[in-house]
Chains A and B, each alone.
Chain A
Amino acid sequence: MLTLVIFLPLAAALLLPAVPRRAVPWAWVAAGLADLALIAGMWAAHGTRGGTSYEADVRWIPSVRAGYHVGADGLSLPLLTLTALLFAACAVYSVRRERRTRAFAMLFLFLETVCLGVFAALDLLLFFVFFDLSIVGMYFVILVWGHGDGAARSALKFFLYTFLGSLFLLLGFIGLYLGSEPRTFDIAELTRDPPLEDAPALAGLTLLALGVGLGIKTPVVPFHTWLPPAHTDAPAPGSAILAGVMLKMGAYGLVRIAMPMLPGAWHRYAPAVLVVGLVSVLYGALVALAQDDVKRLVAYTSVNHMGYVVLALGAAGYADGTDGGAPASGPRLAVTGAVTQMVSHGLITGALFLLCGVLHARAGTHDLRRFGGVARAAPVFAGTFAAAAFASLGLPGFSGFVAEFQIFAGTIGTGAAATAAAGALAVLGIVVTAGLFLRVLHRLLLGGPGELTGRVGDLRRGEAAAIVPLLSLSLLIGLLPGPLLDTIEPLSAAVTGWVAR
């Protein structure tokens, strides 16, 4: 079942050359929506149970005990749904695209398979295969469809940087493999019986390799420098996928692989993770404040938002006491918040990047200084943009608030002095983010008309159909977070338990 969901987009991509030219966008939308419906159905059937559903395990390279092992649990289901949703939104958004639509659709469908595969993989080698292919796919998106003269450069930087990360990740995986007894690449087995327990130095090195690999992808400061150019030069749907889905792979890997498999090392190096998260939060927010290119600005807020996730996961590393078997509530809250933040950031940033794409499609630039008073010229666009900006800065009622509130409550509530201080400092990030989004709204939407304001027409129906559902869902999660949190809760309890063991 899960295999069908993963490979349905790829199958659609392979069939696409046979589809008549006019029908290509619609075939793409249909494939995306069908996949989304399947995943939503799977989530509904899984409900809020703990444990893994829809498992499939086929032997692949038996001599190193690597297999095609996939499954979905409380951590992967929300992310799988987010992936399918964002890809469907990109398909809807691109319906009117004219330049090489067929190849674009095929590449995106391929990317969808790859991204779904990452979140479903329960085998390290399989995870790596999908992880690496996502880099290749996104490279071609930026290279071929990127705008600006710098696209080839940005694409190269993106490829080199994230590929370096992926190789470190591979070394880390091999470290885990060699440290396990009996040797295996299976995530479930490695989680059950963590490797390298009695070799703290090796475990530390392995965690370092994993941390660098996943940290580049997340991205955390100081490994974030590939992100702004890649986002700026990628086409809008590419940026939305890159920020909305692919950045999650790093954080997902931390929760899925690093924390359960190296609990001792994670516990020991939790302060470092905490600091990296905090620096990413503050640095991302401050640099975003200084941007005039609105797409670049959104890219830096991604560094800030993913910083909260890393911060929370670092705080979860402080989980030590199991008072009477039940893990303490602070770390659990932090992990739940982190996963919620991944989903929330995917929805909101996806919408923001698509809105930036609208701006670029109309006026050919993202430069804030050349706009002004867009609210009068394009009221629907302005309203949507304002909603997305408020959601992103964590206004209560949107999903961002639910996520960030839990992250702060969990981080501060862990009980250690360090986490309390880090949590308190990270709140400053919210203040800066609020300031910078208000500045954007002020410059872009309000005030007198700018040089290019006349070119900005309102949202078309297709664009609205892509963007509005993302924001509505963010609003829905903000108002009714129950189902999402209940799905994640068993998983975060398990992760906290693993780290504390």
Chain B
Amino acid sequence: MNENPADLAPELCLLLAAVLGLVGGMFLSRTGQWRVAVLGAAGALGGLAAAGAAATRPDLMAFGSFAVDPVTHVTRIVVLASVPPVLALAAGAVRGHPRESEHYVLILLSALGTVMLGGAADLLVIVAAYLLASIPAYALAGFGKDAPGTEAALKYYLMGAFLGVLMLAGVTLLSGVAGGTAYPQLRAGLAGAPDAAVAAGAVALLAGLLFKAGAVPGHFWVPDVAQGAPPAVAAFVTTVPKIGAFAALYRFGADALPDGAAGWPVLVAVVAAAAMTLGNLAAFGQRNVRRLLAYSTVSQAGYLLVPVAAAGRTGLAEPAVLFYLGAYAVTNVGAFAVVLAAGRDDLRGYTGLLRAAPVTGLALAVCLLGFVGTPPTAVFAAKVLMFGAAIDGGLGWLAVVAAVNTVASVFYYLRWIVPMCRAPDGPFRPARGAALVAAGAAVCSLLLGAGAGVALAL
């Protein structure tokens, strides 16, 4: 068995940054705590470099439970690349807060859990990573200590605890019938196991991962957290933990389950259809942009589940999942960054943004149209792959559902764009740091879309 800790260098970088940040934060003055954010960003960038180097080496399995393969590489890169902009967004909001350094450390720890979740090839590692990714996020959601934040944190925690217990039961059941928790063992063991037990275990496991992914039926926390938690936290929890969850779902479907066991593809396909439809329907009536974005992330989770459902049946599924993850992270961070930059939650507050602050307005337009899947943004290329994976994987009906949902989603994204194009009714001063992040994300989205070939070749 390979037990070389260097294979986990990106994770260790993040952990080191978190620990140093926690300790260092104690010795720093209140005005000097921003250094922890810089340290965290440095840790993430160091991890990113390590992950990039690891991506050029052949696949391997570390400690018998952590796969280092393209799925992990992409999870690492996307998560680690999301951390610095999120830290930048958070830094603007919690500057001078008594718990500033802890805030950054919680973000780093949750990101670490996410990466572990993406790479886990063992049910027990999944459980540990799930907890590591969730618990800091609960604390982050309630960080503001105000009524909406507390409610959001409570809801988030209760949902997470409930579905986490279900997931634990599923893990127990699956390991019981398969005689082991590592994926190769599961694959071998489940082939001969009774169908009902496998199905029950898979459904219970799915519950926990869907909670992390923010997909139906584990999506109830998403709008409340997005609205109630501080905006930077909302940007974080609606983006980063999801990445690990989708990677874990994909890996579980492709590696752990025997082909087509427990009706997994159909199950995931139905969940995907439900998530995109319900997310879209709920987003229609929202006037609060953070709630609107929250429901949009639920529907995006639905699209992301489409290639997960087609896992193992078509060669397009893996590039589709991975590319969509990157595209989604960029676009979502960009959209939330605009919300932070503008500092307004009501749709009407965005009247005239395009003229009053052209760069921020344009960034928002690119991100929103990106969510729709307008070329040449990143999500466009991802959606093409997603449709291709669905049709090639024999899920033509899901492709049609996704297409219809995409059109429906245009409606509420445009509800945000329309007031932006009107004449401004007052001065508009976007926060500089967040505006910069937003513009950067929009440019990244365009580059990732136009340079999709380069990204996919890696």
Contact = CB atoms under 8 A, between A and B. Distances in A.
Contacts, number: 75
The B interface is mostly helix, strand or loop, or mixed, namely helix
A163 to B, nearest CB: 6
Interface string A166-204: 011011001101100000000000000000000000000
Contact of B375 (A128, A167, A178): A128
Contact of A152 (B319, B418, B452, B456): B418
B453 A129 contact: no
Contacts of B403: 164, 167-168, 170-171
B384 A174 contact: yes
A60 interface: yes
A64 interface: yes
Q: Output the residue of B381, B399, B453 with the most chain A CB within 10 A.
A: B453
A132 B374 contact: yes
B304 to A, nearest CB: 18
Contacts of A174: 384, 387-388, 391, 399
A412 B407 CA distance: 40
Contacts of A144: 421
A170 B369 CA distance: 17
Contacts of B411: 156, 160
B191 interface: no
A18 interface: no
A174 B369 CA distance: 21
Contacts of B321: none
A143 B369 CA distance: 15
A178 B388 contact: yes
Nearest to B455: A61
A275 to B, nearest CB: 25
Contacts of A167: 403, 406-407
A136 interface: yes
A63 B456 CA distance: 7
A143 B452 contact: no
B414 interface: yes
Given A160-B411, A163-B407, A174-B391, A129 B400 contact: no
Interface string A141-171: 0011000000010001001100110011011
A159 B387 contact: no
Contacts of A59: 453
Interface string A85-115: 0000000000000000000000000000000
B391 A171 contact: yes
A61 B387 contact: no
A175 B391 contact: yes
B69 interface: no
A157 to B, nearest CB: 11
Contacts of A178: 388, 391-392
Interface in A353-385: none
A140 interface: yes
A174 B319 CA distance: 16
Contacts of B319: 63
A66 B403 CA distance: 21
Nearest to A143: B421
A62 interface: yes
Interface in A59-80: 59-64, 66
B453 A62 contact: yes
A129 B387 contact: no
A133 interface: yes
B380 A129 contact: yes
Nearest to A205: B396
A125 interface: yes
Interface of B: 316, 319, 369, 372, 374-376, 380-381, 384-385, 387-388, 391-392, 399-400, 403-404, 406-407, 410-411, 414, 418, 421, 452-453, 456-457
A-B pairs with lowest CB-CB distance, top 6: A129-B375, A61-B453, A167-B403, A164-B407, A63-B456, A61-B452
Given A140-B421, A175-B391, 17 more contacts: A62-B456, A62-B457, A63-B456, A64-B388, A66-B453, A128-B375, A129-B380, A132-B375, A132-B380, A133-B375, A136-B374, A159-B410, A163-B372, A164-B404, A171-B387, A174-B388, A178-B392
